[in-house]
Amino acid sequence: MSEERLTTRDLAQRMEKTEGKPPVEGPGDARVIPMFVGDEAAGFRTRWEAVQTGFVDEPRKAVEEADSLVAQVIKRLSEVFAEERTNLERQWDRGDQISTEDLRIALRKYRSFFDRLLSL
């Protein structure tokens, strides 16, 4: 059984088809930073705490809200992924006019993004 070669471009294109909009440009550096920065992660956590608190009075509603919140976080994560992938691809997808040093830097940035994904 042969394994299909999957690229980040494939994933982003699939996401773009389902979302109907192109990815938005975002920061693209080699630092390892959280997938959600600033108040965004705090907002998700605050909403999660409200879901948990609501369980006591309305368990079914809390579970429905938890499902919705998790879906929203996954959707946002896919948007962040598409933004990062676009920025990384811009670094190296210039045909034959790219140096080995540029490719080395691009690989370091992919490694940083990979580490960020696994740190979730």
Please count the other Cβ atoms lying within 10 Å of the Cβ belonging to residue 21: 9
The pLDDT value recorded for residue 116 is 75
Residue 99: pLDDT over 90: no
Mean pLDDT, residues 79-99: 78
Residue scoring higher pLDDT (66 or 100) = 66
The residue behind tokens 């909009």 is 21
Reduced to 3 states (helix: H, G, I; strand: E, B; else coil), residue 18 is helix
Closest listed residue to residue 75, CA positions, set 42, 40, 46 = 40
**Average predicted confidence (pLDDT) for the chain:** 75
The pLDDT value recorded for residue 55 is 95
The pLDDT value recorded for residue 64 is 93
pLDDT digits (tens, 9 = 90+) for 16-50: 554 443 333 334 444 446 777 779 989 999 999 99
Q: Which two tokens stand for residue 9?
A: 């471009």
Residue scoring higher pLDDT (27 or 109) = 109
The pLDDT value recorded for residue 56 is 95
Q: How far is CA 31 from CA 39, 59, 62, 97, in A?
A: 19, 41, 37, 26
| Contacts for 78 with CB less than 8 Å, ≥ 6 apart | 15, 19
Q: Is the pTM of this model over 0.85?
A: no
